[in-house]
Structure 1
């Protein structure tokens, strides 16, 4: 599907978005990825349509492209192309919520175990946690910052990126893209 193609779903109704609470998404994952991006959890809109970072205006896709991970800005439904680029997406918790702060600390901490299993099975070079707050809670490292971290998940090194949510006002798109680009340089081709 080309970059200009229409999305393969109709926008969900307000009722469909609300009804997506608690649903999960299928991971976009495969063996030997350069980077497995790991968000907090799916948002309601993404769960309603069944695609990661699906809300119109998501900053994940422009940051990924702007950082040089992809040769064009991919769309949420282009899972196969994302995998061909050596990239994947998962979440610490697969329970869709309206806001990430609806997750409990216990859910985030428990999510590390599942993430470690995925990293051991699929062996990405890097696991990129999307959100320093999620990382601090999940990995019990309250003073951690952005960038490479000392932990490994299976063979994968861990990197913390800013949360690409539009609610993260501390990181406008150019700053977010610069952080993604630092990982891109480290992750290589």
Structure 2
């Protein structure tokens, strides 16, 4: 697929990307907000250099690396994707704190409706802001939303130089192990 033109990317600003969700998922991954590339393509984590799809494979969540266009296949593995903030921007820092807090409120309602076992927020700063948890760290959180556990994961953006794909995969793998440890869970 050819890269979108600058005009297509500009037109995608504030666009939306449909969630990939179903009731009762094992893990609902939650991005910060869609990139312009994701808004153009309609696929989550579509920006070149984003490591979400390789890290899912490296951590064992998927048996092979999926392409963003194959995001619908996640449902068969008990996985889904949504975002804290729905609108697409060029950079996550274009989203202000009030928008994150409103996104957190809407996300809690979505989790109450879908009841995944785990909500995995991929971005510590977004989690801290959306849920007023300024001291939160990467990993499982004490807070839950009803019966849904919360796990904060490193942001897979290629701009996040603090984490390599391997070190991210280790953290994602910890979540996978916790999800598999639950009664009735099986490997993909």
TM bucket normalised to smaller: over 0.9
Alignment match, 1:4: none
Q: Tell me which of 38, 47, 60 is aligned to 2:39.
A: 47
| Alignment of 1:25 onto 2:14 | no
Q: Is the 8 A contact 2:118 2:148 kept in 1?
A: yes
**Which of 40, 64, 69 is the matching residue for 1:77?**
69
SS of corresponding position for 2:10: helix
- Quick check: 2:19–2:81 contact (8 Å CA) kept in 1? yes
**TM superposition shift of 1:120:** 1.2
How far is the alpha carbon of 1:141 from its aligned partner?
1.1
- What's 1:153 paired with? 145
Matched, 1:99 2:91: yes
> Given that residues 59 and 173 in structure 2 are in contact (C-alpha distance below 8 angstroms), is that contact kept between their aligned partners in structure 1?
yes
Report the CA distance between 1:79 and its aligned residue: 2.9
Alpha-carbon distance, 1:114 to partner: 1.2
Partner of 1:11: 3
Q: Distance in 2 between matches of 1:35 and 1:82?
A: 10
Q: TM-score, normalised by structure 2?
A: 0.93
Equivalent in 52, 56, 62 of residue 48 of structure 2: 56
Report the 3-state secondary structure (helix = DSSP H, G, I; strand = E; otherwise coil) of the residue aligned with 1:77: helix
* Alpha-carbon shift at residue 10 of structure 1 (Å): 4.0
The ranges of structure 1 where at least 4 consecutive aligned residues each deviate by more than 4 angstroms after the TM superposition are none
TM-score (norm 1): 0.92
CA contact (8 A) 1:115 1:153 kept: no
Residue from 140, 143, 155 that aligns with 2:132: 140
1:126 aligns with 118
SS in 2 for 1:129: strand
Unaligned runs of 5+ in 2: 181-185
Q: CA deviation at 1:155?
A: 2.1
Instruction: Output one character per residue of 1:61-90: Cα deviation in whole Å (capped at 9) or x when no partner.
Output: 010111010111111121331100100000
| Structure 1 counterpart SS, 2:68 | coil
Q: Distance in 1 between matches of 2:23 and 2:141?
A: 22
Q: Distance in 2 between matches of 1:16 and 1:57?
A: 19
User: Which whole-Å CA distance do the structure 2 matches of 1:101 and 1:56 have between them?
Assistant: 19
